[in-house]
Chains A and B, each alone.
Chain A
């Protein structure tokens, strides 16, 4: 996926999110650390360009809610969570880069519900790579990529990685790239 395609995708997301908005208040975006934050920002500016509306924007870190952090060797660093608006009765769009097992999204929903009681939560992801382990489905998808378990999907954003791109990389057993 190239930069042009990604930019089109942000515009499409913005259009769909604004279109689906049934309630009085505008939907609010919450980006998941790390890359989801930048994706959500892009969607926010695309929506502003389209409609002149500035969507509320928040940042969520789900380290506290993960069910797997102890099985990893390294203790994950807790990143910033900053939700500067009241979630009560709002329509939330959760933005993540890659949707895989669904466990991250499960954690994110628990986290959001601790901040308040939103009217609804929808899920937006750049890539859906399949292999779900929980009953979770996305509402807005950039691209569906059927993958093998030993492949890794990498979403790169200019703000963090210097360029916009989506790649699928096959991994060897010892964690190296093939």
Chain B
């Protein structure tokens, strides 16, 4: 458990990004997630907490893990779930995002989980509808539930986030996970180093607020935990020559068994899906020092906690003078 001030009260309406959440907000979500984690181990892993809620999962981009994890979290809490994917919908007939969401809102949705390729879509939706909005990834901006589940796993496995040294390795420029991870981890008192080839770094990488390194071994030696990022092949089309080849990337920046031997306390995480033999050697991904599958299980618990906490804000919202256009207070 992370210590909290006694008088703390959770008052967020949406989860757009961790930039809007204070240290105490994050600590509260992580503490509550522990209770939901316990539910997943019960003989009947189902609770009626959200049985009066209807949630739409609005996925404009492909996703397996995040979408399954959200849907499982929603169903475990008894919510009614509607799934929407852009490829098989009216979007292919030319409907705009605003029209789609307003139609969905007319069907009385309480919460919207959204993934979109454009940064800021989640924020835009808060101005279109009254529902609570959960960002499941907007472009290369934020992916807050991934960062929350990373922090939950780190807290669970390493005991504390305070003073923890976390290295994030790989395609920094294209990664929304990096942004949320850096913001969240630093608020919780951890130190972050980003590492990768210079062609994978954004312009002015220092502005992300983490240490910057281009040397894998040096970074792994410094870190308690390394989070390897996926090389996002689907986003490489504009610049096909950021790396000479996947094999060469693996040679220079892939985490291999020799690293685990060299640094016996180093632990490994990965947001998935893994490109085996690229960012992680096969044996590394399968070793007992990798928490990758724990991350997946914990993801459901963390998403349940977020859904639970935000479901309370819907009532508070409709009963007070607040409107959907207000920015969440941080």
Contact A114 B35 (CB under 8 A): no
A57-81: CB near B (< 8 Å → 1, else 0) gives: 0000101110001100111011111
Q: Shortest beta-carbon distance, A90 to chain B, in Å?
A: 14
Contact A116 B316 (CB under 8 A): no
- Within 8 Å by CB of A81, from B32, B38, B44, B311, lies B38
Q: Given the complex, which residues of A lie within 8 Å of B315, measured CB to CB?
A: 70
Interface residue? B48 (CB, 8 A): yes
Interface residue? A85 (CB, 8 A): no
Q: Given the complex, which residues of A lie within 8 Å of B48, measured CB to CB?
A: 64-65, 110
Contact A74 B9 (CB under 8 A): yes
Interface residue? B43 (CB, 8 A): yes
Contact A75 B38 (CB under 8 A): no
Residue in chain A with minimal CB distance to B10: A75
Task: For the complex, give the distance between the alpha carbons of A115 and B44 in Å.
Answer: 6
Interface residue? B46 (CB, 8 A): yes
Residue in chain B with minimal CB distance to A83: B42
Residue in chain A with minimal CB distance to B28: A77
B278-320: CB near A (< 8 Å → 1, else 0) gives: 0000000000000000000000000000001101110110000
Contact B49 A64 (CB under 8 A): yes
Interface residue? B274 (CB, 8 A): no
- Within 8 Å by CB of B44, from A63, A73, A114, lies A114
- Within 8 Å by CB of B35, from A70, A79, A115, A116, lies A79
Q: Shortest beta-carbon distance, A81 to chain B, in Å?
A: 6
Contact A64 B316 (CB under 8 A): no
Interface residue? B39 (CB, 8 A): yes
Among B9, B39, B312, residue most surrounded by chain A Cβ atoms (within 10 Å):
B312
Task: For the complex, give the distance between the alpha carbons of A75 and B312 in Å.
Answer: 6
Residue in chain A with minimal CB distance to B49: A64
Given A73-B316, A114-B43; A78-B35 close (CB under 8 Å): yes
Residue in chain B with minimal CB distance to A86: B43
Given A61-B35, A64-B47, A64-B48; A70-B312 close (CB under 8 Å): yes
Task: For the complex, give the distance between the alpha carbons of A85 and B32 in Å.
Answer: 23
Q: Which residues in chain B, 9-57, are within 8 Å of chain A measured between CB atoms?
A: 9-10, 32, 35-36, 38-39, 42-44, 46-49, 52
Q: Which residues in chain A, 79-118, are within 8 Å of chain B measured between CB atoms?
A: 79-82, 110, 113-116
Task: Name A's B-contacting residues (CB within 8 A).
Answer: 61, 63-65, 69-70, 73-75, 77-82, 110, 113-116
Task: Name B's A-contacting residues (CB within 8 A).
Answer: 9-10, 32, 35-36, 38-39, 42-44, 46-49, 52, 77, 308-309, 311-313, 315-316
Given A61-B35, A69-B312, A75-B309, 9 other A-B contacts at CB below 8 A? A65-B47, A74-B9, A75-B313, A77-B32, A78-B32, A81-B38, A113-B44, A114-B42, A116-B43
Q: What are 10 contact pairs spanning A and B, CB under 8 A?
A: A63-B49, A64-B47, A64-B77, A65-B49, A75-B308, A75-B312, A75-B313, A78-B32, A81-B35, A114-B44
